[in-house]
């Protein structure tokens, strides 16, 4: 049978497609713009949109397992509900959904509230799903690369408790593995939630020290005062501390060590 990957031209979705193809899965990619549809040989492409029910029905025809990833947009919750209803009417039971860590805790943050609402609907609609809850993406720090390399400051106010950041490449591989596990199971597997966290819990001081090492010059930490920074990000992030979890289950899923933050920083430094 066929696995449908939504968000297939994005950073995570594209990598999910590639991992599935490497493991000989039959893959269909849902895209809004065919001009961006550059995938490995053998991937079928369906053009559609979450708000276009007819295109979704066509994309989900003959699908056995769904990877549901939708963008952070004002109608994110509506898009996901439409996709879930079309999936159910198309006979799809098996889903892997990309949510966010602590979606059930930070329900006053719109992005988190939307994700938690989708999680609840998946449960209420009795889908046999894996809900992936990733922590802060390591690659989010690309947004502040200039501040680090150009001004010698790591400005992200992480807080004293630190963050267990995770590499998006690890997220994509885990998503692919979970899709295959559900696809290949004789009977649909029970609902499961997995917190996706990185191998280390790092404070801002820890990260500044990594950057200082890989860039061979002092990088200062801007401090833990998150008030001003969070005013800009409050629609998308919870309080920037306390995301502390054991990574053993995630490591076991991958069958290899998780990528540490230092790998990300070293790649940036090498390209600078």
Domain limits of the chain? 3-135+168-196
Question: Rounded to two decimals, what is the model's pTM?
Answer: 0.92
| pLDDT tens-place string over residues 93-108 | 999 999 999 888 877 7
Percentage above 90 pLDDT, the chain: 75
The confidence band for 272, taking pLDDT boundaries of 50, 70 and 90, is: confident
Contact present, 165 and 202 (Cβ < 8 Å): yes
User: In whole numbers, what is the pLDDT of the chain averaged over residues?
Assistant: 91
Cα distances from 112 to residues 37, 138, 215, 259, in angstroms, run 29, 18, 35, 25
Whether domain 3-135+168-196 has CATH 2.120.10.30: the reply is: no
H and E: helices and strands count for the chain: 10, 9
| pLDDT tens-place string over residues 149-163 | 999 999 998 877 888
Q: What angle do CA 57, 59, 117 make, to 5 degrees?
A: 70
- pLDDT for the residue 245: 60
DSSP 162-224: -B--B-HHHHHHHHHHHHHHHHH-SSPPPPEEEEE--S--B-HHHHHHHHHHHHTS--EE--S
Considering only residues 103 and 236, tell me which one the structure prediction assigns the higher pLDDT.
103
Contact present, 136 and 217 (Cβ < 8 Å): no
């Amino acid at each position: 049978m066929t696995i449908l990957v939504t968000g297939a031209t994005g950073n995570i979705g594209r990598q999910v497609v590639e991992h599935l193809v490497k493991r000989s899965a039959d893959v269909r990619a849902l895209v809004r713009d065919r001009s961006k549809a550059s995938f490995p040989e053998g991937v079928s492409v369906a053009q559609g949109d979450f708000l276009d029910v007819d295109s979704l029905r066509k994309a989900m025809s003959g699908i056995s397992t769904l990877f549901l990833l939708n963008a952070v947009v004002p109608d994110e919750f509506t898009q996901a509900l439409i996709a879930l209803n079309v999936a159910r009417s198309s006979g799809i039971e098996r889903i892997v959904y990309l949510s966010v860590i602590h979606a059930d805790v930070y329900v006053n943050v719109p992005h988190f509230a939307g994700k938690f609402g989708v999680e609840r609907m998946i449960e209420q609609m009795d889908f046999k799903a894996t809900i992936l809850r990733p922590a802060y993406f390591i690659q989010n720090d690309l947004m502040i690369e200039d501040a680090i390399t150009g001004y010698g400051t790591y400005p992200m106010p992480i807080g004293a408790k630190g963050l267990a950041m995770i590499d998006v490449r690890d997220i994509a591989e885990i998503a692919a593995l979970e899709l295959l596990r559900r696809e290949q199971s004789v009977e649909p597997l029970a609902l499961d939630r997995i917190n996706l966290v990185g191998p280390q819990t790092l404070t801002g001081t820890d990260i500044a020290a990594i950057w200082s090492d890989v860039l061979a010059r002092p990088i200062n930490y801007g401090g833990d005062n998150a008030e001003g920074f969070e005013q800009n990000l409050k629609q998308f992030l919870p309080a920037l501390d306390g995301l502390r979890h054991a990574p053993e289950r995630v490591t076991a899923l991958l069958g290899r060590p998780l990528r540490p933050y230092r790998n990300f920083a070293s790649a940036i430094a090498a390209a600078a």
